[in-house]
A and B are shown apart, each in its own frame.
Chain A
Amino acid sequence: MPASSESTVRLPAGVALHARPAATFVKTALRFRSRVTVGTVDNVGKVADAKSILAVLALGAQGGSVLRLSAEGEDAPDALDALASCVSGLVE
Chain B
Amino acid sequence: MSNLVGIVLVSHSLELARGLADLASQVAGEGVKIEPAGGGPGGSLGTSGDAVREAIARADCGHGVVVLADLGSSILTVRHLLEGKANGHVRLVDAPFVEGAVAAAVMSSAGQSLEDVAKAAEDARGASKF
Contact = CB atoms under 8 A, between A and B. Distances in A.
Given A19-B26, A23-B29, A53-B103, A58 B130 contact: yes
A27 B27 contact: no
Interface residues of B, number: 19
B35 interface: no
Nearest to B127: A54
Contacts of A30: 107, 110, 112
Contacts of A60: 130
Interface of B is mostly: helix
Nearest to B99: A54
Contacts of A52: 103, 120, 123, 127
A54 B124 contact: yes
B90 interface: no
A23 B112 CA distance: 14
Contacts of B106: 23, 26-27, 53
A53 B130 contact: no
Please tell me the size bucket of the interface on A: 10 to 19
Interface string B27-59: 111000000000000000000000000000000
Interface of B: 26-29, 99, 102-103, 106-107, 109-110, 112, 120, 123-124, 127-130
18 contacts: A19-B26, A20-B26, A20-B29, A23-B29, A24-B29, A26-B106, A27-B109, A30-B107, A30-B110, A52-B103, A52-B127, A53-B106, A53-B120, A54-B99, A54-B102, A54-B127, A58-B129, A58-B130
Interface of A: 19-20, 22-24, 26-27, 30-31, 52-55, 57-58, 60
Given A20-B26, A57-B102, A58-B129, 18 more contacts: A19-B26, A22-B27, A23-B106, A24-B29, A27-B106, A27-B109, A27-B110, A30-B107, A30-B110, A52-B120, A53-B27, A53-B102, A53-B107, A54-B99, A54-B102, A54-B124, A55-B127, A58-B130
The 7 closest A-B pairs by CB, nearest first: A54-B127, A53-B106, A30-B110, A27-B110, A23-B106, A23-B27, A19-B27
